[in-house]
Chains A and B, each alone.
Chain A
Amino acid sequence: MQVTLAVKRFDPESGTNEQYDQEYTLEVEEYFTVLDALLAVRDYEDPTLALRCSCRASICGSCAMRVNGHAKLVCKTKLINVIDEQGRVRVEPLGNMPVVKDLIVDMKPFWDKVRAVEPWLQPEGPEPEDEYIAPNDAMIHLTGVMGCIMCGACVSDCTVLEVDPNFLGPAALAKAYRFVGDPRDDADESRLKSLSAYGGIWDCTRCMECVQACPKGVAPMDRIMALRDKAISIGLDNTIGARHTDVFTDSVKHSGRLNEFWLIPRTLGMFNPLSLPYLLRAVPVAWRALRHRRLPPILHKPIPGVQNVRRIFERVENRK
């Protein structure tokens, strides 16, 4: 079959500093992956096309790229599943990382963040003579996270990183979870404490993009949520994120809906001098909302039938 690869290219030595599109039309077999097609171009048509790849079997993590706008490992992406009616597919470098050349990005920021979560086992006390005794269930569970091949697909498509490059991001946080969840690691408290700070677990907006992008089923967002639970469970509840969760829950429990007016002040902490600048920053927003008659009601009334909502809460809380 005939396909057209529309490749976003970049030549750092051209002096223009601009990416450009180049189309390659070629005959391929039906079973070809996007990587097979890219290599057919690089090997036989245009040896200047630059990309990273190695194992061809979704384990080395080299070949993550954007295909039709979404990050994928191109070695396990079948062409037939991504071409349009005209046989066309768009291939671009990963997002949220600087482009070095063509489809190659600079992964240094990615690795800096992985390094920042101190990704090595930190046990306490003397090592046992033999192996650590650990339940197999815990190990099987961790193997699911350990399956992360550090390809960067999740980071590419993370919507938080798009607006705040300080966010540790899904890959580094999933890596952190791998240690917090490890029964042999004894640094949970310090890990969770630093992960609760700005740029950490509470900065995820739960957009699910990372879960969708991950080619290995690691589901980074689920790991971030699990880290939040663990942080709260060890008493790290005096953070903006944890308070936000509490305020949200309280509000729905008591009125059946969200009390938007008080959400921000109570999340920030009403009597917290440190939160004053943030509160002041909210004032113009509130003023604009008022002018456009969009200010949430100051008096917050429960919805009819709120007792049913409370009953749900009771049932859930009792189950715990």
Chain B
Amino acid sequence: MAVYQHDVVVVGAGLAGMRAALAAQKSGADVAMVTKVHPVRSHSNAAQGGINAALTSRGDTWDDHAYATVKGSDYLGDQDAIEIMCQEAGSALIEMEHMGVIFSRDDDGRLGTRRFGGQEVARTFFVADITGQAMLHVLHEQILGNRCRVYEEWYVTSLVVEDGECRGVVALELMTGQLHLIKAKAVILCTGGTGRVFEPSTNGLVVTADGQALAYRIGVPLMDMEMVQYHPTTLRGSGVLITEAARGEGAYLLNSEGDRFMEKYAPNMMELASRDVVSRAEQTEINEGRAVDSCVFLDLRHLGKELIETKLSYINEVAMDFANVNLAEEPIPIRPGNHYEMGGIKTDVDGRCSVPGLYAAGECACVSVHGSNRLGANSLLDTIVFGRRAGESAAKYAKEASDKPVPESAIAADRDMIKAFLDREPSDDTPAKLRLAMGQIMNEHVAVFRNEEGMQTALNAIIELKERYTRLPVKDKGQVFNTNLLFALELGCMLDSAEAICYSALARKESRGAHFRTDMPDRDDENWLKHTLVYQTSEGPRIDYSPVTITQWEPQVRSY
């Protein structure tokens, strides 16, 4: 076993992770990233539409952006955090442009914008419909240029906690099957969302809620986990995403009768209402039978071939490859699909978690800026603003922290866990079977419309799956690239997150944002204008609450 040591270790190398690593390095820390996939394979790639920022130099105002975000969050977002994000958006965006992101321009050669949902103003900056990929590759270029250390294809199996402080990680090197101890004065979790807890999901197969589970297991609370976003435009079957930018550029949503049904649900904002509103509208149309094969339609025909080919070229490719539809000629069948976890590891505005030395940023974290519903194009912004802040504060913490001992036995529990998988009696269960069962039940009961009975059914199923998980064998006994073992480890994280989502969802006795209960359809500010926290304890999950920070926008009736 080799032992490694760094000031700051970043787990995950998507947008938040790489932005955090660069910031920590710039602050003078010795930084390393540990990532289970090569950085450019991270799921930040799949962000399509763009990134929001109110550029004051062109007359936009950050508080307008902040208000749209607060309203979008159905008032569950912490307004101090939202103010920071919207104030720093401009500088964070320009920084990315200076690093080399090839943002689309207007006729004067300045950054061009498009409209996005939940906002009256066009303040979404973009690179065609591959904005995430464009930003991810540029941050990776900077990682290469700055020679930041990356432990590629290493999977973190646990956080090392000594004397109540986080002092490193244990990681499995996939190429060799060896476990390593990486000591660190500060650890930043940037591991992304919970997508694969659900089936289908727009998320890639690597999005397995690893960071949430790692933090949860050491007693760090997960906040607002019930707030799971269903994106209005995903493909049936695979769940592949069709960007909101299509509607931003003017596409219509039609039901099977050819009506623009959003007139009924959001007469002012129509297709560009908040995502929770649009997804509920679609699901209502589907449930009431104005759909074809459980899908409504996204119609881009009137946008014209040229616009589709230049500004929406990727979804044009996706529509053809995965739905056999030519967007310029026919509407594409779509439906709401699992997309984003608003909740996550509870942090402050500098990424700090409840355990000293532990930080989190990006989708795995909950600052909270998205509250109960995230606005489109705010997630990329979240990653770079809070990635940067977490990187800077972790570096500062590491500078002041002294070297503290970490016993090499920290690795023993992980070694035993892996050995147990490999030694188990053969059975018919595979990680994939358990995951599919979990994903389908979550998608059935903890989706766009929820109720007590359904959520309880899902929770019971998750508890049963967790029990089966304790007997799950790994058939591949090899050391090198044992993806069977990796899947089993990831499944453990997904089940923990599924449990946290169900507990939080059952706890919240109201409807707010993405959490819509048919048995309690109203928002209840008097009792529920608060965050849910879920802790893992030896007696099982424990629910607690924390207040929402309100600075200048008192809750109002939310309509679009």
**Which residues of B are found within 8 Å of A31, using beta-carbon distances?**
237
A143 and B127 in contact (CB under 8 A), knowing A44-B430, A47-B475, A135-B105?
Answer: yes
User: Which of B67-75, B130-138, B509-517 lies at the binding interface?
Assistant: B130-138
Q: Is A186 an interface residue (CB 8 A)?
A: no
Q: Once the chains bind, are A60 and B45 in contact (CB under 8 Å)?
A: yes
Kindly state the separation between the CA atoms of A52 and B486 in the bound complex, as whole angstroms: 12
Q: Smallest CB–CB gap between A63 and chain B, Å?
A: 10
Contacts of A111 in B (CB 8 A): 38
* Given A11-B478, A61-B40; A121-B105 close (CB under 8 Å): no
Question: Which of A11, A44, A120, A150 gathers the greatest number of chain B CB atoms within 10 Å?
Answer: A120
Question: Which residues of chain B in 465-498 are interfacial with respect to chain A, using CB atoms and an 8 Å cutoff?
Answer: 474-476, 478-484, 487
* CB–CB B105/A57 < 8 A: no
Please give, as numbers and ranges, the residues of chain A lying within 8 Å of B317 by CB-CB distance: 58
Identify the closest chain A residue to B146 (Cβ): A120
Minimum Cβ distance to chain B for residue A44 (Å): 6
The proximity string for B residues 295-334 relative to A, scoring 1 for CB distances below 8 Å and 0 otherwise, is 0000000000000001000100110011000000000000
Residue of B nearest to A11 (CB): B478
Are B145 and A120 in touch, CB under 8 angstroms? yes
**Listed stretches A99-107, A232-240, A253-261; interface member:** A99-107
A120 CA / B111 CA spacing, docked (Å): 20
Q: A47 CA to B488 CA in the complex, in Å?
A: 11
Chain B contacts of A140 at CB under 8 A? 104, 128, 310
- Taking CB atoms, residues of chain B closer than 8 Å to A59 are 45-46, 130, 133, 314
Q: A59-B130, A100-B480, A120-B141 are in contact. Are A44 and B318 (CB under 8 A)?
A: no
B44 to chain A, nearest CB (A): 10
Q: Are B40 and A50 in contact (CB under 8 A)?
A: no
- Residue interface bits A29-64, CB-to-B below 8 A is 1, else 0: 001000000010011100110111111111111100
Q: Are A57 and B104 in contact, with the CB atoms below 8 A?
A: no
Bound complex: CA A115 to CA B38 (Å): 14
- Contact call A149/B133, Cβ cutoff below 8 A: yes
The answer for the CA separation of A127 and B481 in the assembled complex, in Å, is 44
- A146 an interface residue at 8 Å Cβ cutoff? yes
Q: Does A182 contact B (CB under 8 A)?
A: yes
Candidates A12, A42, A54; contact of B480 at CB < 8 Å? A12
Q: Within the assembled complex, what's the spacing in Å between the Cα atoms of A184 and B94?
A: 14
**In chain A, what residue has the closest Cβ to B38?**
A107
Contact between B430 and A47 (Cβ–Cβ < 8 Å)?
yes
Beta-carbon contact of B204 and A133 below 8 Å: no
Contact pattern, A 101-129, Cβ under 8 Å of B = 1, otherwise 0:
11010010001001100111101000100
Please, how many angstroms separate the alpha-carbon atoms of A54 and B317 in the complex? 18
Our pick among B102, B108, B137, B478 for the contact of A139 (Cβ within 8 Å) is B102
Residue of B41, B111, B141 with highest tally of chain A CB at under 10 A: B41
A136 with B175: CB separation less than 8 A = no
Q: CB of A131 within 8 A of chain B? A: yes
A12, B206: Cα distance in complex, Å: 24
State whether A139 and B475 are in contact (beta carbons under 8 Å apart), knowing that A54-B43, A57-B241 are contacts in the complex: no
Contact of A55 among B45, B310, B481 (CB under 8 A): B45
Residues of B in contact (CB 8 Å), total 67
Q: Is A133 touching B109 in the complex (CB atoms < 8 A)?
A: yes
- Whether A131 contacts B111 by the Cβ 8 Å rule is yes
* A-side contacts of B386, CB under 8 Å: none
Q: Is the CB of A139 within 8 A of B41?
A: no
Q: Which of A51, A57, A134, A182 has its CB near the most chain B CB atoms (within 10 A)?
A: A57
- Cα distance A60–B107 when bound, in Å? 31
Q: How far is the CA of A142 from the CA of B100 in the complex (A)?
A: 11
A253 to chain B, nearest CB (A): 39
CB neighbours (8 Å) of A44 from chain B are 430, 432-433
Answer yes or no: A206 CB below 8 A from chain B CBs.
no
Given contacts A55-B204, A57-B46, contact A136 B318 (CB under 8 A): no
Cross-chain pair count, CB within 8 angstroms: 166
The reply to whether the CB of B142 lies closer than 8 angstroms to some CB of chain A is yes
Most B CB contacts (10 A, CB to CB) among A13, A76, A131, A140 go to A131
Q: Is the CB of A100 within 8 A of B432?
A: no
Neighbouring A residues of B106 by C-beta, 8 Å: 136
Residues A53 and B478 in contact in the complex (CB < 8 Å), given A127-B98, A132-B97, A146-B134 = no
Query: Contact between A130 and B94 (Cβ–Cβ < 8 Å)?
Result: yes
B57 at the interface (CB under 8 A from A): yes
State the Cβ distance, B367 to closest chain A Cβ, in Å. 26
Q: Is the CB of B41 within 8 A of A62?
A: yes
Chain A residues within 8 Å of B103, by CB:
131, 139
**Do residues A136 and B240 form an inter-chain contact, with CB atoms below 8 A?**
no
Q: Is the CB of A143 within 8 A of B480?
A: no
Contact B134 A120 (CB under 8 A): no
| A136 interface neighbour in B37, B98, B105, Cβ under 8 Å | B105
CB < 8 Å: which of A54, A107, A127, A133 contacts B110?
A133
Q: Does B49 contact A (CB under 8 A)?
A: no
In contact, A58 and B318 (Cβ under 8 angstroms): yes
Q: Say whether A147 faces chain B, with CB atoms less than 8 Å apart.
A: yes
Contact between chains at A101 and B97 (CB < 8 Å): no
- Judge whether B205 is part of the interface by a CB distance below 8 angstroms: yes
- Report the bound CA distance from A182 to B317 in whole Å: 25
Within 8 A of A (CB), among B4-22: none
The residue from A60, A119, A133 contacting B141, defined by CB atoms under 8 A apart: A119
Within 8 A of A (CB), among B81-100: 94, 97-100
On chain A, the residues within 8 Å of B43 by CB distance are 54-55, 60
Cβ of B336: which chain A residues have Cβ within 8 Å of it? none
In the complex, which residues of chain B have a beta carbon less than 8 angstroms from the beta carbon of A147?
130, 133
User: A-facing mask of B140-158, CB < 8 A → 1, else 0?
Assistant: 0110110000000000000
| Whole-angstrom distance between the Cβ of B42 and the nearest chain A Cβ | 8
Assess the B481–A60 pair: CB atoms within 8 A.
Answer: no
CA of A263 to CA of B245, assembled, Å: 54
Cα A43 to Cα B430 in complex, Å, equals 7
The residue in chain B whose Cβ has the minimal distance to the Cβ of A29 is: B237
Q: What's the minimum C-beta distance from B15 to chain A, rounded to whole angstroms?
A: 14
A131 adjacent to B130 (CB under 8 Å): no
Judge whether B105 and A56 touch: CB under 8 Å: no
Once the chains bind, are B112 and A47 in contact (CB under 8 Å)? no
B431 at the A interface (CB under 8 A): yes
Is A146 within 8 A of B240, CB to CB? no
Inter-chain CA distance A133–B105, complex, in Å, is 8
Residues in chain B within 8 A of chain A (CB atoms): 37-38, 40-43, 45-46, 55, 57, 94, 97-100, 102-112, 127-128, 130, 133-134, 137-138, 141-142, 144-145, 175, 204-206, 237-238, 240-241, 310, 314, 317-318, 321-322, 430-433, 436, 474-476, 478-484, 487
Known: A43-B433, A131-B111. 18 other contacts (CB 8 A): A39-B432, A43-B431, A44-B430, A44-B432, A47-B474, A47-B476, A54-B206, A55-B45, A57-B238, A60-B46, A114-B144, A120-B99, A120-B142, A120-B144, A127-B98, A130-B55, A133-B109, A149-B133
Q: Return the 10 tightest CB-CB contacts between A and B, nearest first.
A: A43-B432, A121-B100, A54-B204, A136-B105, A120-B145, A55-B204, A48-B476, A133-B109, A120-B141, A47-B484
22 A–B contacts, CB within 8 A, in A order: A39-B432, A43-B431, A44-B430, A47-B432, A47-B484, A48-B475, A50-B476, A50-B481, A54-B41, A54-B43, A57-B46, A58-B317, A59-B133, A100-B481, A101-B481, A115-B144, A120-B141, A136-B107, A136-B112, A140-B128, A140-B310, A150-B137
